[in-house]
Amino acid sequence: MSSVEPVPGTAASAASAAPAASAVPAASAGPAQPAAPTGDVIHDIGFRHYDGQRFGRGWVVRSLLVETVRGVFGLGRPAKSKVMPWVLIAILLIPPLVIAVVILLTGGNELGISYTQYPGSMELVISLFVAGAAPYCVSRDLRHGVMPLYLSRPMRRSDYVLAKFGGLAISMFAVLALAETLLLVGALLMKLPVGAQLVGWAGGILTVAILALILSGIALVIAAFTLRRGVGVAAIITGLLVVSGVVQILIAIAKDKGYPTVASYLPALNPYGLVDGIAVRLLGVEPSNSTAYPAGPLGLLVFGSLAVATVGACLAILIRRYQKVGGV
């Protein structure tokens, strides 16, 4: 390219020297300095090749994960895509804020809600958040045919699934962990014993981490089978709410009929109950909504294995689903 660049200049000066017959010098310059279409060359710096570093799968998956997290919060998307997640995040953060403010003003001596009870009390809002985010993560790429572009990149199909799952789970965890941390701030402002509060907070963080994994898995599975974003949102929210409602009814019936053991295992069918049960048996905290959970290590074992199995099954279904996706 650089060897060609002086040519138009030379031709132009030759032309200006003989303005009456500008075509003549250009033509006579032709054979000596071949093929320089004047004007085209000056501004066109040409296609630049890239000889630098190209990262492998690790970077590609990380990039997809980061893009997913950004997208869940509406970053890099139009303003209207930012409304829902941030309204819900605001709602999720209001209770800890209110508690902190109330404590500050009234000088109370206990948190209105425990770290592990908090997710259960915000069940609806959390469900709405994941219902809005999961279809963005996967339905969009399915519906608009973006999968072939991802598949033609240096990564595997399962990498896509893991990046999307990781991105959604991390996003959910970030929001819930922030709320937990606000609760901790409130507690510390109240001058409650720091050690005990930190332990409680750590338990809360663990609880929301498990919850984020389970909810992300379930929501992504539903979203991966619904191409339309709206349908995906509706399917996830109804799924989570219906399951929650049905489980409540079943528990009530089981108690009524005199099967307290059955009733104590039933909450495991609801993601929020499952996580709360694990927290209660693992950390020895108070259950949310004063639900009864199976006693002893067996309860923890059952609830724990069920949580692991749920996440594993969701990932397996997703990976299987994506073996056939994308028209490629």
Partner 1 sequence: MIAGLDPSVGSRDFTGARDPGDASPAGRSVVVENLTRTFGPITALSQLTVEMPEGVVGLVGANGAGKSTLIKVLLGLLAPTSGGARVLGLDCATQGLAIRQLVGYMPESECLPPDVSATEFVVHMARMSGLPSAVARERTADTLRHVGLYEERYRPIGGYSTGMRQRVKLAQSLVHDPKLVLLDEPTNGLDPAGRDEMLTLIQRISTDFSISVVVTSHLLGELEKISDHLVVIENGVLQRSTSTADATQLSGVVLVEVTDGGPELVARLRAAGAQVADDGGAHTFTVELAGEWVFDAVQDGAADLGVGLVRMQRRRHHLTEIFRPEQEGADVQR
List contacts with partner 1 (CB under 8 A).
46-50, 52-57, 59-60, 63-64, 67, 76-78, 81, 140-141, 144-156, 327-328
Q: Shortest approach of partner 1 to residue 40 CB, angstroms?
A: 11
Taking the least distance from each CB to partner 1, the nearer of 123 and 141 is 141
Supply the angle between the helices 271-283 and 229-256 in degrees, to the nearest 10.
60
* Cβ 58 to partner 1 shortest distance, Å: 10
Backbone angles phi, psi at 117, to 5 degrees: -80, -25
To the nearest whole angstrom, how small is the minimum distance from the Cβ of residue 44 to partner 1? 9
- In whole angstroms, the minimum distance from the beta carbon of 54 to partner 1 comes to 4
Least Å from the CB of residue 77 to partner 1: 5
Distances (CA, A) of 54 to 64, 92, 147, 260: 16, 41, 22, 60
Question: What is the Cα–Cα distance from 303 to 265, expressed in whole angstroms?
Answer: 8
Alpha-carbon distance 155 to 57, whole Å?
5
DSSP 214-276: HHHHHHHHHHHT--SHHHHHHHHHHHHHHHHHHHHHHHHHHHHTT-HHHHHHGGGGSHHHHHH
Q: Smallest gap, in angstroms, from Cβ of residue 142 to partner 1?
A: 11
Q: What is the distance between the alpha carbons of residues 309 and 63, in angstroms, rounded to a whole number?
A: 28
C-beta of 146 vs 252, nearer to partner 1: 146
Q: What is the DSSP string of 6-51?
A: HHHHHHHHHHHHSGGGTHHHHHHHHHHS----TTHHHH---PPP--
What minimum distance in Å lies between the beta carbon of 74 and partner 1? 10
55 or 86: CB nearest partner 1? 55
Q: Which residue lies nearer to partner 1 by CB, 46 or 296?
A: 46
Q: For residues 151 and 250, which CB has a smaller minimum distance to partner 1 in the complex?
A: 151
- By beta-carbon proximity to partner 1, the closer residue of 145 and 260 is 145
Rounded Cα distance between 274 and 293, Å, is: 9
**Closer residue to partner 1 in complex, CB, 50/256:** 50
Cα–Cα dist 284/202, whole Å: 13
